[in-house]
Amino acid sequence: MSKTTINTLHKIKQNQEKFSVVTAYDATFAGLASTSGIDVLLVGDSLGMVLQGKDSTVPVTMEEMCYHTQAVKNGNQGSLLMVDMPFMSYATPEQAMANAAELMQAGAEILKLEGGAWLVDTVEMLSERGVPVCAHLGLTPQYVHKFGGYKVQGKEQAAAEQMLADAKAMEAAGADLILLECVPSELAKTLTESINIPVIGIGAGSDTTGQVLVCYDMLGMNSGHVPKFVKNFLIDGRNIQQAFAAFDQEVKSGDFPGPEHGFKA
């Protein structure tokens, strides 16, 4: 398969097509996903919850993110490799520069940061220095204690307008992608149409350019609460590789997510 790059994703956006994203934390899952058509692998700080059993992503360290980035890189077969910068690893632009260097040297090809317009200077500095950036807006899990839980964001008009402004500010600062988590589907549609860079959604309706799910969620390997935006693709006798391929195909055909996977304002 050909290598997926930032340019690949921008062409997909220009052509009004779709791309697929799943999380990966090790070489085995990276190999299975990347050879099944998945365009982007995300080494998420969600590993704190799904691998380590913690109750949030906040405790995840830079050392852990670098370790899992290296593992995923070793198994990846051509997908774009996106990596989360963990909690407080980019509180200042200077701190972001040093930690971004570590993650890129571990194998990251684009870094994801949570936050809005306050990140403009950091995004500008990273972009100028050759570090691609995905800006994560909406429900930003590192803010769970500030939000008072995992709640849909952007329901009120003022919050929706702020999110649109933040997305435009991130694009202007040089961000290459936006990720929207748990926002009303109509807001995600408006935002996707308002900027030129691709938008990845999770719980953000069907009108974003890309869709992402946590690999364990889409394989039905979650215990307890199953988020509304999740669909189990490991059904009907499929193996794991076929499940990844089915997710990829349903994203690209527009069959996933359906209306039942989204939120209203």
Token digits of residue 11: 């062409």
SS3 209: coil
Residue 187 near residue 161 (C-beta atoms within 8 A): no
228 marked as part of a ligand binding site: no
Nearest to 184 by CA among 208, 163, 205, 206: 205
* Residue 181 is among the residues annotated as catalytic for this protein: yes
User: Does 45 show up as a binding residue in the annotation?
Assistant: yes
Q: Is 112 annotated as a binding residue?
A: yes
166 marked ligand binding residue:
no
Tell me phi and psi for residue 110, to 5 degrees.
Answer: -155, 140
Note the helical H segments in the chain: 6-14, 27-34, 47-50, 62-75, 93-106, 120-128, 144-147, 157-173, 185-194, 215-218, 240-253
Closest CA to 26 of 74, 77, 85: 74
Q: Is 18 annotated as a binding residue?
A: no
Q: Rounded to an integer, what distance in angstroms lies between the CA atom of residue 84 and that of residue 42?
A: 8
Please identify which of the residues 63, 181, 186, 193 carries the catalytic annotation: 181
Binding site residue list: 45-46, 84, 112, 114
Binding residues for Mg(2+): 45, 84, 114
Q: Enumerate the active-site residues.
A: 181
Residues in the annotated binding site for 3-methyl-2-oxobutanoate? 45-46, 84, 112
